[in-house]
Structure 1
């Protein structure tokens, strides 16, 4: 090989090495920024300057309630939106007493169509909303279009609660945020949006909508001072899992998860929110979709058979 070609290959190799080194350093900085600096210093934003109120959907249990606690600890007033009047009143009273913040409740069933959101709009009228947390969701029970009883209603409810609600709640607060040129919208998606999930196809599909909607809106609103963040948590030990287990490292309590997740605000627009879940995401990327599904297939099938057995139905192959 002539000296000329050796020089070309050496130069090319050096360029590739510099590029890869830069990407690796960038990746390590992103991890450090989210999960170390975020844990120590909290959000990279002054959340109180965004507006007096935060709106949290599905706020009476699980991740929604835990996220609302993190916001209230920082002196932000909370609007609780959920379907249970009794739970809403209990949470509102507890937060007012424990955290000393103003609270407001809006009773709303998110399985309703778009034309019912006037209730929410009226409830938010006149409030300076700086933060919206789109968290409301419904259970991860398996749905197979050919064997699930009352499938039509389940499909309607699931899509309305997890997909339509995200877009409609954003629509309810976005205009005022754009006028003030500041605000944060956190959309809670799921790790299931990451890997195809047969027998649970509708649930992860709605979560994939939340993920992609967040990414699109982030680009659309970045020049207006509005931050969109999508959270992609793996299992968090909430009532939605229908399993009474003790929280652990990989399956944290809602409080543990949200304490980590809120620290990523202003540091990442798309995040797993919790370092062990980030590690699982890296493993899923390395394995590829098919191998990642094979890894969780037994769990998915176990949930499916348990659900159908409770309904007295013989599973189809």
Structure 2
């Protein structure tokens, strides 16, 4: 027997309404989970902006400059600290003109800084309210340990570990007592996850940064958001295509993701490529990761050697 069903507009609306409710029931939790994992950039200004300053150490280096531009784009004022006054002035003028933020520059060489130098920097920044401290410096020398000079050893340790602790000693009290939340981002590396041949001292300094950041993230969890930023090799988005490889990631995209992770995670690898590499290093036996790094770093050393030889032959 044939049955004819007639759907009224009201019945159809009820049917579609059920589908919409089902979609919301599934979609909202998924969206909430996505935002928790990948973050919301707008929270940067809400949590740490409102006329405050982010102090970027190593602002004249590529990663430091990337942080300056990314934060200025969100309306955060910047204190640029580095050892090239010319580059600092260039970056400060660029972000002030493009984004309308305030920018202060301060010449500072972490590898040679004394207690007097740190106190002078602190006195300068006492004139403004610093809500974010970003240490974007790391120094590595690609050569066997027995070939490192005295100055190279001192430079790596002073730049990465000693200077970081002196900055924390001076700035943590004020970051801790601010009415709103503060933030500290420490640049580390994928090499902090596992022991590294050839770059042993560099890897050890990066592990130091990772460990101190993790410990402080719990110690100051009620007032300061700590993030250990641990990318691998980064290249600018406009870099020549031949520089891109399976182990490199775009600088700008990596920094953007790190800022999204701030306040939600304690560790960020930036780009998904480096997150996958980090996952491998976390589960791989130490012997395997050592062999992996030994192959990669020997390959990189050979490429640098060939580049130097090619440059020397052109200059002759």
* Length-normalised TM-score, structure 1: 0.78
How far off its partner does 1:30 sit? 11
Match of 2:299 in 1: 302
Instruction: State how far apart, in whole Å, the 2-side matches of 1:43 and 1:232 are.
Output: 22
Do the aligned residues in 2 keep the contact of 1:190 with 1:233 (CA within 8 Å)? yes
Secondary structure (helix, strand or coil) at the match of 1:252 reads strand
How far off its partner does 1:288 sit? 2.0
When residues 51 and 131 of structure 1 are mapped into structure 2, their CA distance, relative to the original with a 3 A threshold, is: farther
Q: Deviations over 1:253-310 (max 9, x none)?
A: 2212112211111110122122221111112223222212222322212344566896
Instruction: State how far apart, in whole Å, the 1-side matches of 2:284 and 2:300 are.
Output: 23
Which runs of structure 1 show a deviation greater than 3 angstroms over 4 or more consecutive aligned residues? 28-35, 47-51, 243-250, 302-311
Match of 2:11 in 1: none
Secondary structure (helix, strand or coil) at the match of 2:285 reads helix
How far off its partner does 1:87 sit? 0.5
Match of 1:186 in 2: 185
Larger CA Rg, structure 1 vs 2: 2
Match of 2:16 in 1: none
Match of 1:272 in 2: 269
Do the aligned residues in 2 keep the contact of 1:59 with 1:80 (CA within 8 Å)? yes
Do the aligned residues in 1 keep the contact of 2:89 with 2:105 (CA within 8 Å)? yes
* Length-normalised TM-score, structure 2: 0.78
1:258 corresponds to 2:255: yes
Do the aligned residues in 2 keep the contact of 1:199 with 1:304 (CA within 8 Å)? no
How far off its partner does 1:63 sit? 1.3
Provide structure 1 residue ranges, at least 5 long, that are not aligned to the other structure.
Answer: 1-27, 312-317
Number of equivalences: 273
Which stretch has the larger CA shift, 290-299 or 98-107?
290-299
Instruction: State how far apart, in whole Å, the 1-side matches of 2:66 and 2:146 are.
Output: 37
When residues 114 and 216 of structure 1 are mapped into structure 2, their CA distance, relative to the original with a 3 A threshold, is: farther
Match of 1:15 in 2: none
Match of 1:207 in 2: 206
Match of 1:91 in 2: 91
Instruction: State how far apart, in whole Å, the 2-side matches of 1:81 and 1:205 are.
Output: 25
Instruction: State how far apart, in whole Å, the 2-side matches of 1:212 and 1:50 are.
Output: 31
How far off its partner does 1:113 sit? 4.1
Match of 1:123 in 2: 124
How far off its partner does 1:70 sit? 1.3
How far off its partner does 1:162 sit? 1.0
Match of 1:10 in 2: none
Instruction: State how far apart, in whole Å, the 2-side matches of 1:295 and 1:68 are.
Output: 34
When residues 154 and 289 of structure 1 are mapped into structure 2, their CA distance, relative to the original with a 3 A threshold, is: same
When residues 204 and 33 of structure 1 are mapped into structure 2, their CA distance, relative to the original with a 3 A threshold, is: farther
Match of 2:170 in 1: 172
When residues 305 and 57 of structure 1 are mapped into structure 2, their CA distance, relative to the original with a 3 A threshold, is: same
Provide structure 2 residue ranges, at least 5 long, that are not aligned to the other structure.
Answer: 1-29, 310-316
1:283 corresponds to 2:280: yes
Do the aligned residues in 2 keep the contact of 1:43 with 1:267 (CA within 8 Å)? no
How far off its partner does 1:83 sit? 0.5
1:134-145 correspondence to structure 2 within 5 Å: 134-138=135-139, 140-145=140-145
When residues 237 and 284 of structure 1 are mapped into structure 2, their CA distance, relative to the original with a 3 A threshold, is: same
Q: Which has the higher contact order (CA 8 A, sep 6+)?
A: 1
